[in-house]
Every structure is written in structure tokens, then in C-alpha cells.
């Protein structure tokens, strides 16, 4: 497995896979295939893919431990950047479709609705992580400070889950929330309780 993960084509192939949902959503929007409310469908789909990308990012360390293949780690930064890209597109879709990019209206809505506030806080927490996702930033910050900063990633799971829960609460639709809670709980729990050796 390590041989495949360390192959020069592993990262380009990963980026193709990560871009595929966005390419499909773009094509579907262009072809008017997103249903009766395309703006809502696009907004929700981008949010769903952000949560999935975050789960994949959180899964890298457990996968390394479970499989013994250290090559997983070289893909983590790519997944983290992709998560930020989808989160940014999700937030911009909300700002554009829901609020018409009106800054006072955006501020009022963010401060009024808790699920928007939590989602915005999670996105803002990702900004410094994305801004320091390059080798030059690691050298500038120093390895230890960079690792400490990127531990914020572990708080993103609960924040994203709370955002998702509050968004679904109005429709009393909690099945997906429960599934994501199980996945994120297991991934974060592994870090807390994994055997030391």
C-alpha cells in the first residue's frame, strides 16, 4: 500500500478525485439538473461535501495507524486544503444566494442565527490552517508551532457537526447527523484512546 501512496501520481489522482464532486455540481448547475431550487441544492451539496472531506482528513492518522502505511500522511494536507476550498464555496454560496453579498445583511444573519454563526466560525478557523498549508509556512512557524496550530482541525469536526445538526433540526431529520456523529466521534476518539506503544 505504501508503494501506491508514495507514487508520484498519487497526489494528482487524489486531486482529480477531490475535484470530481465540484465538477459534477458545476455541470449539473450549467445543465439545470439541480432540481426546483438549484441555489439551495448547490448550497447544501457543497456543505455535505465539506463535511465528507473533513471526515476524510480526520481519517488519515487512523488509517496510518491501522494499516501501518505512513504514505497516508503525505495526502493529509491535500485533503485539508480541499476541505477548505469546499467550505469556502459553501460559505460563498450562502453569502451570494441567501444574502446577495450584502455585508450588513450577512452580519445581521450571522449574529442572529446560531447555526450560521457556528458554520462561519468553523470556516474562519480554517483560514489560518489553509494559509499555513505550505512548506514555507512550516519553515517560518517552526514544526512544533505549525503542528500546534493545526490541532485546531480537531475542533472543526464538532463545530461542523453542530452546524449540520442545527440546520437539520428544523426538518426533524437527524439520521445523517447521527451517522456523521458516529464517524467523527470514532475518528476523534481514536486519537484520544488509541493504544500507546
Average pLDDT over residues 67-82: 91
In this predicted structure, the answer to whether residue 175 has a pLDDT above a threshold of 70 is yes
Average pLDDT over residues 9-17: 94
More confident residue, 169 or 159: 159
- pLDDT band at residue 197 under the 50/70/90 scheme: very low
In this predicted structure, the answer to whether residue 113 has a pLDDT above a threshold of 60 is yes
Report pLDDT for 195.
58
Report pLDDT for 196.
52
Q: Rounded to an integer, what distance in angstroms lies between the CA atom of residue 106 and that of residue 2? A: 46
* Main-chain dihedrals φ then ψ at residue 28, nearest 5 degrees: -65, -40
Among 87, 96, 82, which Cα is nearest to 29's? 96
Amino acid at each position: 500500500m505504501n508503494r501506491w501512496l508514495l507514487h508520484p501520481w498519487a497526489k494528482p489522482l487524489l486531486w482529480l478525485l477531490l475535484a470530481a464532486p465540484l465538477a459534477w455540481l458545476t455541470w449539473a448547475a450549467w445543465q439545470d439538473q439541480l432540481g426546483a431550487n438549484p441555489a439551495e441544492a448547490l448550497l447544501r451539496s457543497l456543505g455535505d461535501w465539506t463535511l465528507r472531506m473533513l471526515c476524510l482528513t480526520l481519517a488519515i492518522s487512523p488509517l496510518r495507524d491501522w494499516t501501518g502505511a505512513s504514505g497516508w500522511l503525505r495526502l493529509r494536507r491535500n485533503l485539508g486544503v480541499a476541505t477548505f476550498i469546499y467550505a469556502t464555496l459553501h460559505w460563498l454560496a450562502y453569502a451570494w444566494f441567501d444574502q446577495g453579498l450584502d455585508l450588513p445583511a450577512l452580519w445581521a444573519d450571522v449574529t442572529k442565527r446560531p447555526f450560521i454563526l457556528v458554520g462561519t466560525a468553523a470556516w474562519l478557523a480554517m483560514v489560518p490552517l489553509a494559509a499555513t498549508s505550505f512548506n514555507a509556512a512550516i519553515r517560518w512557524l517552526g514544526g512544533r508551532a505549525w503542528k500546534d496550530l493545526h490541532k485546531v482541525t480537531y475542533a472543526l469536526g464538532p463545530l461542523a457537526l453542530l452546524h449540520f445538526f442545527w440546520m437539520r433540526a428544523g426538518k426533524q431529520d437527524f439520521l445523517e447527523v447521527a451517522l456523521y456523529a458516529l464517524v467523527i466521534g470514532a475518528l476523534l476518539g481514536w486519537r484520544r484512546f488509541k493504544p500507546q506503544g
